Amino acid sequence: MTDTKKAIKYFAKYLKPYWKGITVVIVLSLISSGAAVIAPTFLGRSVTALTTYLGDLKKGSAHIDTFYSALGSMLAFYVLSMVAIFIAWMVMSKFNADSTNDMRENLFSKFQRMFVRYFDTHQDGKLLSLFTSDLDNIFNAMNNAIFEIISQGIRFIGTIIIMFMVNAQLALTTIATTPFILIVSIILMKKARIYLDKQQDEIGDLNGYITEQINGEKVIITNGLRQESVDGFKIYNNRVRSAMFKGQFYSGILFPLMNGLNLLNLAIVIAMGAWMIISGQVTTAIGLGLIVTFVEYSQTYFEPITQVTSIYSMIQLALTGARRLAEVEEQPDEKAVPNGEEISGLNKGVKLENVHFGYNKNKEILHGVSVAVDKGKSVAVVGPTGSGKTTIMNLINRFYDVDSGKITFDETDIRDIKLGSLRNNVGIVLQDSVLFSGTIADNIRYGKPDATMDEVISAAKQANIHDFIESLPEGYETQVSDSGSVFSTGQKQLISIARTILTNPPFLILDEATSNVDTVTEEKIQKAMDAVIAGRTSFVIAHRLKTILNSDKIVVLKDGNVIEEGNHHELLKQKGFYYKLYTDQTAFE
Ligand SMILES: Nc1ncnc2c1ncn2[C@@H]1O[C@H](COP(=O)(O)OP(=O)(O)OP(=O)(O)O)[C@@H](O)[C@H]1O
């Protein structure tokens, strides 16, 4: 499907529910434009009536009534046109706000259904620009452009019909330059489109860069790269500027060009009208009336072309936005496994059996990994950085699916378990603990919103964070977003552990929860982890070997292969890779 078709389909989908409102707007536009098109005929008639009246004055048989009635009719049509526009505008504003609201809501819901892969491969800022820049462009265009297109389209066609009904010769003169105008417009619009499309993509890249740099601010400062960061920004910003300039130039030049052609056309129409009077084809009174009428029609004929070209960039930006949003909607959803099994609790254990996996087809990360975690046991995975530890966690939770082999939960392939059910039974403490805006209590009960305050406090106690929370002036009611309550990495991890304790998952994955913290906090986290692991089946991904000495089993992973397996003492005896890792680490402590 071409980009334009995709964008139009997207609009159609979101405007369909508002077909009643759209019909009202079309009908009102018809009335308004029709009235505006008819009104100039009365302008011509009133001039003819006035000229005739002035001529008849000398003869003594003058009647002014025809003039007044033509003038009154003209006024009535213009008023009708205005009232219809006013009502149409009100109706349209409402369904535009509603439909863009639907788009925004669907976009956000879509994000909550998509594969994690999408977020791993798209920058936050780029995704954010869909909500800001793209949806803004769509809203602007729907508010300003769609109405213009409908009403100007009707005006355009209506004007041509009426012009031919009034006088075919002057009508032909008025529209004679149209083919030339159309060719120039199409060439310029095509050019503009390329750059306006590019503009949106460049804005997405710029937003991506900005969020990345803001998130990495501390790294930038400590490496003394603030100026380089600004220089990098300038490169992205210049790309936006260049695309913006070219896009606006090509789309903007249409407007003055059309205005110029309109004036030229006006002169031709007046000359033709004058020639008709001089050559005796029409009387002076009729000729003057025709000139005035066609001066007006020349304007109403050109106005749609001028207006549509002047809002072309707006339309194009909206089409680009709709294309970008449609592309997000096209992304596959996570498969919810509707007919999958519901599981509740763990009876036997979790197993990885000969798992092969790569994030990309051409680079395998795990090469036939088998790990078994029996019920009630704690298995730790250790290994050098990049060996695939976190990848295993991503697979158990079905953030990604294995390429071959399988992962089983009580001997059922996890791909045959309802996704929600699987995740309800697997608790995760991530390396980067995330706190959401709200109170500390809200954060602890995040996975179990109906938890009582006693349960929250009990979880916090087990996670060794209760005393710290109590020491804050607002205690559990402290707002996480308060600038006065900036939490350390360790504190965030403890709150995150409390959150997991509260959900009481049968199977638990702890991903490097002890990195980046001081020794006191580390000890606290260790105790919290022991509390959360106790009696629970768990899978611990750790860098600091000290924290996993008591694990029932340690699996050593290297370059995506399990190379050693056993408990701490067994592995030390083997004097293999684990022994080396352990002695290297303890030598530094
Ligand atoms: N989303 C991703 N897309 C593509 N490749 C990825 C992705 N995440 C990780 N990788 C690659 O997979 C390999 C294993 O990464 P993984 O995060 O599992 O290692 P790890 O053992 O947990 O490392 P660390 O101890 O540093 O956290 C690495 O080579 C990494 O570059």
Q: Which atom of ligand 1 is nearest to the CA of 394?
A: 18
Ligand 1 neighbour 386 (Cβ under 6 A): yes
Residue 336: its H or E element: none
Q: Are residues 260 and 407 in the same domain?
A: no
Q: Where are the alpha helices (DSSP H) in 114-253?
A: 116-120, 124-129, 135-140, 147-166, 168-175, 178-215, 217-222, 226-252
Q: What is the pLDDT of residues 75-96, one digit of tens each?
A: 999 999 999 989 988 898 888 8
> Which class for 218: exposed (0-12), middle (13-18), buried (19 or more C-beta within 10 A)?
exposed
The closest residue, in CA terms, to atom 4 on ligand 1 is 359
Is 131 contained in some domain?
yes
Is 108 contained in some domain?
yes
Cα→Cα distances 362→116, 357, 370, 392, 580, Å: 19, 10, 22, 19, 32
Looking at the structure of the chain, the number of domains it has is: 2
Q: How many Cα atoms are found within 13 Å in the side-chain-facing hemisphere of 540? A: 29
Q: Are residues 309 and 417 in the same domain?
A: no
**More reliable by pLDDT, 48 or 456:** 456
Pocket test for ligand 1, best of 385, 390, 558 (most atoms within 8 A of CB): 390
pLDDT value for 587: 61
Q: Are residues 159 and 250 in the same domain?
A: yes
Domain CATH for 561: 3.40.50.300
Boundary-marking domain end, from 299, 330, 361: 330
Q: What is the pLDDT of residues 268-317, one digit of tens each?
A: 889 998 999 999 888 888 888 889 888 888 888 888 877 777 777 788 88
Mean pLDDT of 487-501: 84
Tell whether the model's pLDDT for residue 253 goes beyond 70.
yes
Q: Are residues 450 and 497 in the same domain?
A: yes
Least confident of 52-61, 184-193, 368-377, 509-518: 509-518
Pocket test for ligand 1, best of 115, 369, 387 (most atoms within 8 A of CB): 387
Q: What is the pLDDT of residues 534-583, one digit of tens each?
A: 778 999 888 777 778 888 899 999 999 999 999 889 998 988 898 888 88
- Quickly state the pLDDT bin for 516 (edges 50, 70, 90): low
Those residues with Cβ within 8 angstroms of residue 170's Cβ, 6 or more apart along the chain or in another chain: 163, 269, 272, 273, 276, 290, 294
Pocket test for ligand 1, best of 122, 360, 369, 391 (most atoms within 8 A of CB): 391
Q: Which atom of ligand 1 is nearest to the CA of 387?
A: 21
Q: Are residues 510 and 411 in the same domain?
A: yes
Cα→Cα distances 435→147, 313, 520, Å: 45, 41, 22
Mean pLDDT of 425-446: 86
Ligand 1 neighbour 362 (Cβ under 6 A): no
ipTM, two decimals: 0.96
Residue 369: its H or E element: strand 366-374
Q: What is the pLDDT of residues 167-217, one digit of tens each?
A: 899 899 888 888 888 888 888 888 888 888 888 889 888 988 998 898 888
Ligand 1 neighbour 395 (Cβ under 6 A): no
Ligand 1 neighbour 431 (Cβ under 6 A): no
**In this structure, are residues 3 and 323 in contact, taking their beta carbons and an 8 Å threshold?**
yes
Give percent above pLDDT 90 in the chain.
26
Q: Are residues 297 and 382 in the same domain?
A: no
Q: Are residues 406 and 555 in the same domain?
A: yes
Domain CATH for 204: 1.20.1560.10
pLDDT value for 62: 65
Q: Are residues 367 and 302 in the same domain?
A: no
How close is the Cα of 216 to the center of ligand 1, in Å? Answer: 19
Judged by phi (left if over 0) then psi (alpha if -120 to 50, else beta), residue 167 lies in beta
Q: What is the pLDDT of residues 47-72, one digit of tens each?
A: 888 888 887 777 766 678 888 888 89
Mean pLDDT of 151-168: 86
Ligand 1 neighbour 509 (Cβ under 6 A): no
Q: Where are the alpha helices (DSSP H) in 472-518?
A: 489-503
Distance CA(355)–CA(414), nearest Å, equals 13
Ligand 1 neighbour 359 (Cβ under 6 A): yes
- Quickly state the pLDDT bin for 482 (edges 50, 70, 90): low
Using the structure block, give the residue that is written with the tokens 């916090």. Answer: 460
Helix/strand/coil (H, E, C) string of 370-406?
EEEEECCCEEEEECCCCCCHHHHHHHHCCCCCCCEEE
Boundary-marking domain end, from 302, 330, 358: 330
Ligand 1 neighbour 133 (Cβ under 6 A): no
Tell whether the model's pLDDT for residue 515 goes beyond 60.
no
Domain that holds residue 398: 349-587
Q: What secondary structure letter does DSSP report for 417?
A: B
How close is the Cα of 381 to the center of ligand 1, in Å? Answer: 14
Q: Are residues 489 and 561 in the same domain?
A: yes
Strand ordering across the sheet containing 366-374: 366-374, 349-357, 404-409, 412-413
φ/ψ of residue 368, rounded to 5: 75, 55
pLDDT value for 10: 92
- As a whole number, the mean pLDDT across the chain is 86
Using the structure block, give the residue that is written with the tokens 């606290």. Answer: 524
Q: Are residues 411 and 286 in the same domain?
A: no
How close is the Cα of 386 to the center of ligand 1, in Å? Answer: 5
Tell whether the model's pLDDT for residue 517 goes beyond 80.
no
Q: Which atom of ligand 1 is nearest to the CA of 543?
A: 25
Q: Are residues 500 and 577 in the same domain?
A: yes
pLDDT value for 60: 66
